[in-house]
Chains A and B, each alone.
Chain A
């Protein structure tokens, strides 16, 4: 399946979701001729039209990505997701340390470089944001230390 076909199919799926979950959007008391449902339906229609054109047209094959890049993309996405989940639970400094080190490794750092990057970035940015700019960051497991 060509790239444009995949994109078109996904667009149609999105339009369907918008339409299905948007159909029930009716105000209990209507004060105006156009309620909350019309606009989402128009956007669903626009998306569906674009999706249909792409599905029919096909083509648009992007250059394939290497296995190495694909692995990197999957690793980076998972790392970011894990970081998002651990951000509050583990606390800012440890989770940022781990994330920075792993991301540095993904982007080709040597182990000692990754370690330094993690330490400098996690501690440095904590001091900058939490103490310098008054952004309250989660302390997590290091609550008593900080």
Chain B
């Protein structure tokens, strides 16, 4: 009952005209960046970090805008996967497997509309899951002290390096770099300057917006140089039928439900998002279909495969918000940036958010319901319009991204120094990405670094420097064991997943 009352307050927040408008803008922008291969929610959200401050948006509005982009991109990613066999988004890799054959058979319209509906089903179920589980988890996590926090963060890093990345060592390296970068600036406890190299611009630390824009916008442009192809002329022939029929929906509905459940639980794990969720859902469904060969069309455009994948990746990106909101542990690059934005508003991510910022948390949850309805409403009739994004040539897009990035970074402190830093970070990040170092652990390290260090020092102050305190509670021990297990288990899990899933996710 209490939850229901909070949810209603959330809807009151999310339904104000400004927030409704922001959710709609986010949904459109999210679908657009989702359609474009190369650009994803993480890039769009990174570029928006300084913009939300320049606009003076309150924290809940910023979160609503960014969340809408995040979930919108999952809807967008499927469009390019189905139409041109290029996943617009890492998590849409599996969508192309069944979606593209369907579109080759003249069923693009059916595939697009059906996948929009199953995306919606996955998202909605996951959002209901957030409402049910998040408050319970946050109450439980309130008992966390500094000791449990240290263990929890180590656990999160273990998840991220173990589950997300193909090469755990590189993921760990990325997390280490992020942690190191977070120490730049004045140390709040002692007043000592760390790694500022006498540069006044670094006293407050490395600006979050400069770092994320360098990492995710500038480096992306350098990657685009390699991958861009000038304005694809997409054949927008959606086939004769623009919409699926009832029997198609009925036959795929169970698959969508299974996908939603799988996606939901995978999305709870830090580090495993839509890519892993949809891969697992896909292989489950394919195995089930193999039992009745008469109806099995997997590989040649099976609607069930498409339905389950889309339900799973949307479900996973929505359930990602549970660890982010309740524990302060983001599970993807995008949610890591959102958490970083919260800290810029002087809010401490973690279980306290539910009690100290109910409007923000519940407003965000309510906006997920609203955003998903908007996305469904947009994605069926306007799919052709979004697909046209694919024909925008790179020479229009890239200068635009540079301008938005530069203005955003400059607006923070009006210093050219930050622009130079942004470019340097972008070039270094490009090199790291070419060495297949994933960026998500890096940003997670940067966002969590300060909190991890504070809790570590607090815990050790309690014990007067004895490190045994770090594994002195049951919860802490479970988390340490879990962290070790997760570093070992993926070697086993990886054999269960199809090869397509082994892609680092943004």
Contacts and interface: CB of A to CB of B under 8 A. Distances in A.
A39 B183 contact: yes
Contacts of B395: 103-105, 107-109, 113-114, 117
Task: Give the interface SS of chain B, mostly helix, strand, loop or mixed.
Answer: helix
B377 interface: no
Interface residues of A, number: 72
A142 interface: no
A84 B423 contact: yes
Contacts of B170: 7, 50, 54
Contacts of B177: 14, 47
Contact of A50 (B55, B176, B432, B453): B176
B230 interface: yes
Given A50-B173, A96-B403, A133-B54, A84 B194 contact: no
Given A54-B173, A104-B395, A99 B402 contact: yes
Interface stretch (B19-27, B67-75, B410-418, B482-490): B410-418
Contact of B420 (A18, A85, A107): A85
B435 A99 contact: no
Contact of A34 (B191, B420, B456): B456
Interface string A95-118: 010011001111111000110011
A50 B169 contact: yes
Contacts of A62: 434-436
Contacts of B404: 125
A1 interface: no
Contacts of A69: 225-226
A51 B176 CA distance: 11
B457 A32 contact: yes
Nearest to A109: B395
A2 to B, nearest CB: 10
B164 interface: no
A33 B222 contact: no
B178 to A, nearest CB: 9
A107 B172 contact: no
A25 interface: yes
Interface in A54-81: 54, 57, 60, 62, 65, 69, 72-73, 76-77, 80-81
7 contacts: A33-B464, A36-B194, A81-B423, A84-B419, A84-B423, A104-B396, A137-B410
Given A60-B435, A76-B222, A135-B410, 4 more contacts: A6-B435, A50-B169, A69-B226, A114-B395
